[in-house]
């Protein structure tokens, strides 16, 4: 599925209706993928109070560093450091400790880093939170990137099994290692929910409003579809950041969830 996003109704495949205490606004995490700290701060100020969280990714973090996270304190309930850590266990543990100290409340690592790496991340998050006297962050595993489809997974990455089976296997592995949840596409959300239960956090990027452009994302769905399928949070970047009026774009997304 490239280019145009199919209508949510078309994408429904008998998905379960899952109710949760989170309201539409709480579920939306804005991915502020910009290069400039000034533009970033302007977006945060504009959207603070209208979203459940902000996400800082490598594009901004590698440019401005921890200041990007520090600025988010008090601006939204969820402060997501989306740096997708993937290295040997001790290095990832050290990275996680730093992100906890910088104020992240949600951190991700790649499930492909393996069990020892995920356990090291979990232990580091707990130990650093304990040392600082703060609530431990949620730690989630990135499964298969939403920019990959099954053909790319097989022919580029060399994983020759149904994409959904790989996502579920990594979700189960993350849960076994004590992680709080996963990042996956909404097309796999219902199956993850079934495999990992109601308390497991599911975060879905690859979100587009009906008829909008998918860009480099391959496994996309609408906000309403993602939530119907069991997503706790949806991550939305370009549809908000590149909108003429980001506050209006956020409102449209939140309205579509309610
Ligand atoms: O602009 P768009 O809405 O496609 O942005 C999606 C965001 O979610 C980006 O910041 C991207 O890095 C992130 N993400 C993703 N797929 C994953 C994990 C994170 O697109 N599997």
9 falls within a domain: no
215 CA closest ligand 1 atom index: 4
Quickly tell me which residue has 């266990």 as its tokens: 89
By alpha-carbon position, which residue is closest to atom 3 of ligand 1? Answer: 237
Is the Cβ–Cβ distance between 101 and 73 less than 8 Å?
no
By alpha-carbon position, which residue is closest to atom 5 of ligand 1? Answer: 237
- Please, where are the H alpha helices in 65-141? 67-70, 89-101, 115-132
- What is the domain-level CATH number for residue 195? 3.20.20.70
Structural domains of the chain, count = 1
Which structural domain, as residue segments, surrounds residue 178? 18-257
pLDDT digits (tens, 9 = 90+) for 102-154: 999 999 999 999 999 999 999 999 999 999 999 999 999 999 999 999 999 99
28 falls within a domain: yes
pLDDT digits (tens, 9 = 90+) for 155-194: 999 999 999 999 999 999 999 999 999 999 999 999 999 9
Instruction: Specify the pTM.
Output: 0.91
| Gap between the Cα atoms of 62 and 34, Å rounded | 11
13 falls within a domain: no
2 falls within a domain: no
Ligand 1, pocket-test mutation among 78, 140, 146, most atoms within 8 A of CB: 146
5 falls within a domain: no
| Gap between the Cα atoms of 31 and 230, Å rounded | 20
106 falls within a domain: yes
7 falls within a domain: no
142 lines ligand 1 (CB under 6 A): yes
- Give kind and range of the element (H or E) at residue 9: helix 8-11
148 falls within a domain: yes
């Amino acid at each position: 599925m490239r280019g145009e996003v199919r209508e949510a109704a078309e994408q429904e495949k008998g998905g379960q209706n899952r109710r949760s205490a989170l309201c539409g606004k709480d579920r939306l995490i804005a991915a502020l993928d910009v290069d400039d700290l000034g533009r970033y701060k302007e977006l945060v100020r504009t959207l603070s109070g209208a979203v459940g969280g902000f996400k800082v990714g490598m594009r901004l973090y590698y440019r401005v560093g921890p200041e990007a996270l520090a600025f988010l304190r008090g601006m939204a309930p969820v402060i997501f450091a989306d740096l997708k850590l993937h290295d040997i266990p001790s290095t990832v543990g050290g990275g996680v400790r730093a992100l906890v100290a910088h104020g992240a409340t949600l951190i991700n690592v790649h499930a492909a880093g393996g069990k020892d790496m995920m356990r090291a991340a979990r232990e580091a998050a707990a130990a650093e939170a304990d040392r600082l006297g703060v609530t431990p962050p949620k730690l989630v595993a990135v499964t298969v990137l939403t920019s990959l489809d099954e053909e790319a997974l097989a022919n580029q990455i060399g994983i020759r099994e149904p994409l959904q089976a790989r996502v579920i296997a990594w979700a189960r592995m993350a849960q076994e290692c004590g992680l709080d949840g996963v990042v996956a596409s909404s097309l796999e959300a219902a199956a993850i929910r079934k495999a990992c239960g109601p308390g497991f956090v599911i975060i879905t990027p690859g979100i587009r409003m009906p008829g909008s452009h998918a860009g480099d994302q391959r496994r996309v769905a609408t906000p309403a579809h993602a939530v119907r399928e069991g997503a706790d949070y949806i991550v939305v970047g370009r549809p908000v950041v590149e909108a003429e009026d980001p506050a209006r774009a956020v409102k449209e997304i939140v309205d579509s969830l309610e």
